[in-house]
Amino acid sequence: MAAIEKRSREDWQELDKNHHLHPFTNHKELHEQRSRIITRADGVYIFDADGNRILDGMSGLWCVNAGYGRQELITAASAQMQELPYYNNFFQCAHPPVIELSSLLKEVSQPQFNRVFFAGSGSESNDTIVRMVRTYWDLMGQPERHTIISRDNAYHGSTVAAASLGGMKAMHKQSGLPIPGIVHVDQPYWFGSDQALSPDEFGIVAARSIEAKIKELGADKIAAFIGEPIQGAGGVIVPPDTYWPEVQRICDEYGILLIADEVITGFGRLGEWFGSDYFSITPDFMPFAKGVTSGYLPLGGVMVSDRVADVLIDKAGEFFHGYTYSGHPASCAVAIANLKLIQRDNLVGRIKDDIGPYLQGKWAALADHPLVGDTRMVGLMGAFEIVKSKSPLQRFDQEQGAGGKCRDHLIANGVCMRAVGDTIICAPPFILSHGEADELIETTWKALDLTQAALAE
């Protein structure tokens, strides 16, 4: 049965070092420190090769929302692989899982969404959108209208187009990005601003940087605006309440397509089915991936509104775009099982009314720690910011690596969270129990104390 040999941790690390180029990794550092080998997982816990049990406060990479070891997802994949492990949806073919999933996605999405285009990942979904958006405006007789506005510090994936949509300067620098026709405006990051304005005032100002860009370039050149309802990889940046309504107003006023990147916020993370529902916006596109299968198999896709889909269907002829694994049957079968599990166990409602408020309350109390300058959490997506001094507000020098130290103490004490600079971010599985939430918070207090002691040295 087992396709993988049993080896010692040291053997795994040695082979890994010699033959594996990791994504988003400094290899020199990795080679000195060696990789952490994760061998199995159950519920909200992952286990490393030494048998350490770690509470996964990141749901893998924001994806294992239903938790590990869910038999119905495993069975769905295995049964589908027996029945039909692969067939494509190109030309005029389809298979039951892709059809079933399409209609289920329509059911959980806002009413403007009746159709879905499948991809294998979030990055591919955003590449799809770049092509669809430009094709749409071509078909509308406005071929000049090709520029997409995004935001600094956004994350939309790692392919050339998706990384261009993203606003990560370090990513752009390594490969001559962004590609032409993608521009960036301010992010709605109040805590990272000079805090001269109230959050509500700041939200309006950040949104109006989109309007300023539209006026600068000409509305007849702007195809779309893309944003994550809450920025994830950028540091869980929760926009002020005023931000999204103003963005919606601007998109409506200038006729610009609105893309809500729901790769993290989709399928319940914020206590609503989508981040767009949470913020009451009505996007024209919703790229999704990650949580759609709880990460058990890769799958991405784009919910396409009738405004765009009707034009593509009527006027495009053939849209020359697709992936071999667009709507892979096993991935679709897992997605169906996953969405049904979320519905059956009312996990979205549980985040809204039960575990969400429970963890949020304890998370907010972390602000009492001398190192914690800001806390925020919506649904089960949160962050806190490590600061040198709260009043006046002072950050640590980046060389001190405060965030990285705290993350290392967290992991050493049995909780996995991520550091984005000095921001610690958290997105646990939806099945997190109250007891597990207590454990997560207690370990965080401990890690903060240890970080404080280390920084004082």
Name the site residues for ligand PLP (rule: CB under 6 A): 121-123, 155-157, 228, 232-233, 261, 263-264, 289-290, 300
* DSSP class per residue in 349-391: HHHHHTHHHHHHHHHHHGGGSTTEEEEEEETTEEEEEE-SBTT
Write out the E strands in 38-172: 38-42, 45-48, 53-56, 113-119, 147-151
> CB of 378 within 8 A of CB of 372?
no
Is the CB of 60 or the CB of 97 nearer to ligand PLP? Answer: 60
Min separation Cβ 317 and ligand PLP, Å: 29
Amino acid found at 211: E
Give me the residue label for tokens 């299968």.
293
Min separation Cβ 231 and ligand PLP, Å: 8
Min separation Cβ 369 and ligand PLP, Å: 28
Min separation Cβ 120 and ligand PLP, Å: 8
Min separation Cβ 365 and ligand PLP, Å: 28
Give me the residue label for tokens 């006729």.
255
Is the CB of 124 or the CB of 422 nearer to ligand PLP? Answer: 124
Is the CB of 228 or the CB of 284 nearer to ligand PLP? Answer: 228
Is the CB of 188 or the CB of 232 nearer to ligand PLP? Answer: 232
Give the separation between CA 336 and CA 330, rounded to whole angstroms.
Answer: 10
Give the separation between CA 184 and CA 326, rounded to whole angstroms.
Answer: 29
Give the separation between CA 443 and CA 415, rounded to whole angstroms.
Answer: 7
- Measured from each CB, the residue nearest to ligand PLP is 122
Min separation Cβ 151 and ligand PLP, Å: 12
Is the CB of 148 or the CB of 264 nearer to ligand PLP? Answer: 264
Min separation Cβ 263 and ligand PLP, Å: 3
Give me the residue label for tokens 């010692």.
8
Give the separation between CA 324 and CA 303, rounded to whole angstroms.
Answer: 19
Centre a 10 Å sphere on the Cβ of residue 319 and count the other Cβ atoms it contains.
13
Min separation Cβ 154 and ligand PLP, Å: 8
> CB of 188 within 8 A of CB of 230?
no
Is the CB of 381 or the CB of 447 nearer to ligand PLP? Answer: 381
Strands 182-185 and 147-151: parallel
Is the CB of 123 or the CB of 331 nearer to ligand PLP? Answer: 123
Residue of 151, 147, 160 whose CA lies nearest to 257:
147
